[in-house]
Structure 1
Amino acid sequence: MPRRGRSSSRVDRNALERDRRQHTKELFSRLGFLLPIPLSKRSLPEMLDQATTHVKQLGQRVEMLKQKKQLLEGSSSTDDQTTGIRDHMMGGAWLPVLTVSDLGSMLEVCVKSGSNKKFVLHQVIQVLAEEAAQVVALSYSNVGHGIFYTINAQAVSPRIGIETSRVHERLKELIF
Structure 2
Amino acid sequence: MPRRGRSSSRVDRNALERDRRQNMKELFSRLGFLLPTPLSKRSSPELLDQATTHVKQLGQRVEMLKQKKQLLEGSSTDDQTTGIRDHMMGGAWSPVLTVSDLGSMLEVCVKSGSNKKFMLHQVIQVLVEEAAQVVALSYSNVGDRIFYTINAEAVSPRIGIETSRVRERLKELML
TM normalised by structure 2 equals 0.58
Task: Determine helix, strand or coil for the equivalent of 2:148.
Answer: strand
Task: Label 1:101 to 1:85 Cα distance change in 2 as closer, same or farther (>3 A).
Answer: same
Provide closer, same or farther for how the CA distance between residues 13 and 93 of structure 1 changes in structure 2, counting only shifts above 3 A: same
Contact (CA 8 Å) 1:127, 1:170: kept in 2 or not? Answer: yes
Q: Deviations over 1:44-86 (max 9, x none)?
A: 9999999999999999999986544103346x25489862212
CA 1:173–1:18 in 2, change beyond 3 Å: closer, same or farther?
farther
- Aligned positions, number: 175
Taking structure 1 as reference, are residues 78 and 131 closer, same or farther at Cα in structure 2, changes over 3 Å only? closer
SS in 1 for 2:147: strand
Cα distance in 2 for residues equivalent to 1:18 and 1:156: 68
Which segments of 5 or more consecutive residues in structure 1 lack a partner in the other structure?
none
> Displacement, 1:18?
43
Tell which structure's C-alpha radius of gyration is larger. 2
Please tell me whether the aligned partners of residues 64 and 101 of structure 1 are also in contact (alpha carbons under 8 angstroms).
no
**What's the offset of the Cα at 1:108?**
0.1
Structure 2: distance between partners of 1:160 and 1:42: 50
Q: Is the 8 A contact 1:95 1:116 kept in 2?
A: no
- Tell which deviates more after alignment, 78-87 or 53-62: 53-62
Whole-angstrom CA distance in 2 between matches of 1:157 and 1:4: 88
Alpha-carbon distance between aligned partners in 2 of 1:170 and 1:141, rounded to the nearest angstrom: 24
Q: Which moved more, 1:142-151 or 1:38-47?
A: 38-47
CA contact (8 A) 2:95 2:111 kept: yes
* 1:138 positional shift: 0.2
Aligned equivalents of 2:103 and 2:27: distance in 1? 27
Q: In 2 relative to 1, CA 171–5 (structure 1 residues): closer, same or farther, beyond 3 Å?
A: farther
Q: Aligned-residue CA RMSD in angstroms?
A: 8.1
* 8 A Cα contact 1:131 1:167, kept in partner: yes
Query: How far apart, CA to CA, are the structure 2 residues paired with 1:165 and 1:18?
Result: 67
Q: 1:152 to 1:174 in 2, by over 3 A?
A: same
Identity %: 92
1:128 offset after TM fit, Å? 0.3
- Tell me: CA distance 1:4–1:161, structure 2 relative to 1, closer, same or farther (3 Å): farther
1:128-176 Cα deviation digits (max 9, x unpaired): 0000000000000111122100000000111111011110111111122
Residues 78 and 151 (structure 1), Cα distance of their counterparts in 2 relative to 1, 3 Å cut: closer
CA pair 154-81 structure 1, distance change in 2 beyond 3 A: closer
Structure 2 vs 1, CA of residues 79 and 143 (structure 1 numbering), >3 Å: closer, same or farther?
A: same
